[in-house]
Structure 1
Amino acid sequence: MFPIVRRLPLNLPKSIPLLHSSALNLTAITTPTSSQTLDFDDTHRLFSSSPTSSLISSLSHLYAMAFSPLVDLGITALRSRLISETEIGRRAIKATAYSRFCAGEDAESAAKTLTELWGRGMRGILDYGLEDAEDNAACDRNLAGFLHTVEMTSSLPRDSVSFACVKITAICPITLLERVSDLLRWEQKKKTIDLPWKSHSLPILSPSSPLYHTPSSPPPLSETEEQDLRLAEERLTTLSQRCSDFNVPLLIDAEYTSVQPAIDYLTYSAMLRFNHNDRPIVYGTIQAYLRDAKERLMLAVEAAEKERISIGFKLVRGAYLTRETELASSLGAASPIHSSIEKTHACYNDCTSFMLGKVVSGSGSVVLATHNFNSGKFAAAKAEELGIDKGDQKLQFAQLKGMAEALSIGLSNAGFRVSKYLPFGPVDQVIPYLLRRAEENRGFLSASTLDRQLMRKEIKRRLKTMLSGRG
Structure 2
Amino acid sequence: MFTVQPVSLDNTEIAFSYKSDDELRKTYLIFSAINAPLLTKAGTKLVKFALKLKLPIHGILRKTIFWQFCGGESISQSEPTIQMLASHNVKTILDYSAEGEKTEAGFEKVTQETLATITRAKTSENLPFCVFKVTGIASAQLLEKIQAKQKLTTEEQAAFERVKQRVNTLCKAAHEAGIGIFVDGEESWIQEVIDDLAEEMMGKYNRERVTVFNTYQMYRKDMLSHLKTAFQRAATYQYFLGAKLVRGAYMEKERERAEEKGYPDPIQPNKEATDDDYNKALLYCINNKQRITLVSGSHNEYSNQYLVLLMQKHSMRPDDPRVYFSQLYGMSDNISFNLAYAGYNVTKYVPYGPIDAVMPYLFRRAEENTSVAGQSSREYRLVKSELQRRKQIADKR
Give 1:233's aligned amino acid. K
Per the alignment, residue 369 of structure 2 pairs with 441
Alignment match of 1:72 (pick from 41, 47, 62): 41
Give yes or no for the alignment of 1:146 onto 2:114.
yes
> Which structure has greater helix proportion?
2
Distance in 2, Cα, partners of 1:281 & 1:370: 21
Give 2:288's aligned amino acid. K
Give yes or no for the alignment of 1:295 onto 2:225.
yes
Displacement of 1:41 = 4.6
Displacement of 1:322 = 1.6
Displacement of 1:147 = 1.0
Displacement of 1:372 = 1.0
Per the alignment, residue 211 of structure 1 pairs with none
Per the alignment, residue 242 of structure 1 pairs with 173
Question: Secondary structure of the residue that 1:276 maps to in structure 2?
Answer: coil
Distance in 1, Cα, partners of 2:256 & 2:48: 18
Per the alignment, residue 181 of structure 1 pairs with 147
Displacement of 1:76 = 1.7
Distance in 1, Cα, partners of 2:364 & 2:355: 14
Displacement of 1:84 = 4.6
CA contact (8 A) 1:412 1:418 kept: yes
Displacement of 1:152 = 2.2
Per the alignment, residue 263 of structure 1 pairs with 194
Give 1:452's aligned amino acid. Y
Distance in 1, Cα, partners of 2:80 & 2:364: 25
Per the alignment, residue 159 of structure 2 pairs with 228
Question: Secondary structure of the residue that 2:349 maps to in structure 1?
Answer: strand
Question: What 5-or-longer segments of structure 2 have no aligned partner?
Answer: none
Q: For 1:118-145, what per-residue CA distance to the aligned partner results, in whole angstroms no more than 9, with x for missing partners?
A: 1121010111113443232221222111
Per the alignment, residue 351 of structure 1 pairs with 281
Question: Secondary structure of the residue that 1:419 maps to in structure 2?
Answer: strand
Residues 376-415 of structure 1: matches in 2 within 5 Å? 376-415=304-343
Give yes or no for the alignment of 1:371 onto 2:299.
yes
CA contact (8 A) 1:132 1:173 kept: no
Distance in 2, Cα, partners of 1:371 & 1:85: 35
Displacement of 1:36 = 7.6
Distance in 2, Cα, partners of 1:299 & 1:451: 36
Distance in 1, Cα, partners of 2:282 & 2:100: 30
CA contact (8 A) 1:104 1:425 kept: yes
Alpha-carbon distance change, 274 to 40 in structure 1, aligned in 2, over 3 angstroms: closer
Q: Higher mean Cα deviation, 252-261 or 446-455?
A: 446-455
CA contact (8 A) 1:397 1:418 kept: yes
Alignment match of 2:23 (pick from 54, 58, 76): 54
Question: Secondary structure of the residue that 2:94 maps to in structure 1?
Answer: strand
Question: Secondary structure of the residue that 2:56 maps to in structure 1?
Answer: helix
Alignment match of 2:345 (pick from 412, 417, 422): 417
Give 1:428's aligned amino acid. D
- How many pairs align? 394
Displacement of 1:238 = 0.9
Per the alignment, residue 382 of structure 2 pairs with 454
Displacement of 1:266 = 1.1
Displacement of 1:232 = 0.8
Per the alignment, residue 120 of structure 1 pairs with 88
CA contact (8 A) 2:121 2:130 kept: no
Distance in 1, Cα, partners of 2:382 & 2:5: 17
Displacement of 1:101 = 1.2
Q: For 1:346-387, what per-residue CA distance to the aligned partner results, in whole angstroms no more than 9, with x for missing partners?
A: 11111111112222xx10011101111111111111111122
CA contact (8 A) 1:37 1:380 kept: no
State the Cα RMSD in Å: 2.0
Displacement of 1:45 = 4.4
Larger Rg: 1
Give 1:99's aligned amino acid. W
Distance in 2, Cα, partners of 1:460 & 1:133: 44
Give 1:137's aligned amino acid. A
Displacement of 1:46 = 4.5
Alpha-carbon distance change, 152 to 44 in structure 1, aligned in 2, over 3 angstroms: closer
Distance in 2, Cα, partners of 1:78 & 1:323: 22
Give 1:152's aligned amino acid. R
Distance in 2, Cα, partners of 1:425 & 1:417: 26
Displacement of 1:78 = 4.7
TM-score (normalised: structure 2): 0.93
Displacement of 1:270 = 1.1
Question: Secondary structure of the residue that 1:259 maps to in structure 2?
Answer: helix
Alpha-carbon distance change, 426 to 321 in structure 1, aligned in 2, over 3 angstroms: same
CA contact (8 A) 1:84 1:90 kept: no
Give 1:144's aligned amino acid. Q
Give 2:152's aligned amino acid. L
Displacement of 1:467 = 1.4
Residues 94-113 of structure 1: matches in 2 within 5 Å? 94-113=62-81
Q: For 1:390-435, what per-residue CA distance to the aligned partner results, in whole angstroms no more than 9, with x for missing partners?
A: 1012100111011111111111112111111011110111122122
Give 2:315's aligned amino acid. G
Q: For 1:215-238, what per-residue CA distance to the aligned partner results, in whole angstroms no more than 9, with x for missing partners?
A: xxx3x2222222211111111111
Displacement of 1:318 = 0.8
TM-score (normalised: structure 1): 0.79
CA contact (8 A) 2:5 2:342 kept: no
Q: Higher mean Cα deviation, 269-278 or 59-68?
A: 59-68
Distance in 1, Cα, partners of 2:376 & 2:360: 24
Between the aligned residues of both structures, percent identity stands at 27
Displacement of 1:74 = 2.9
Per the alignment, residue 205 of structure 2 pairs with 274
Q: Higher mean Cα deviation, 42-51 or 415-424?
A: 42-51
- After TM superposition, the runs of 4+ consecutive aligned structure 1 residues lying more than 6 A away are none
Displacement of 1:276 = 0.8
Give 2:198's aligned amino acid. T
Displacement of 1:306 = 0.9
Question: What 5-or-longer segments of structure 1 have no aligned partner?
Answer: 1-34, 184-217
Per the alignment, residue 126 of structure 2 pairs with 160
Give 1:225's aligned amino acid. E
Question: Secondary structure of the residue that 2:93 maps to in structure 1?
Answer: strand
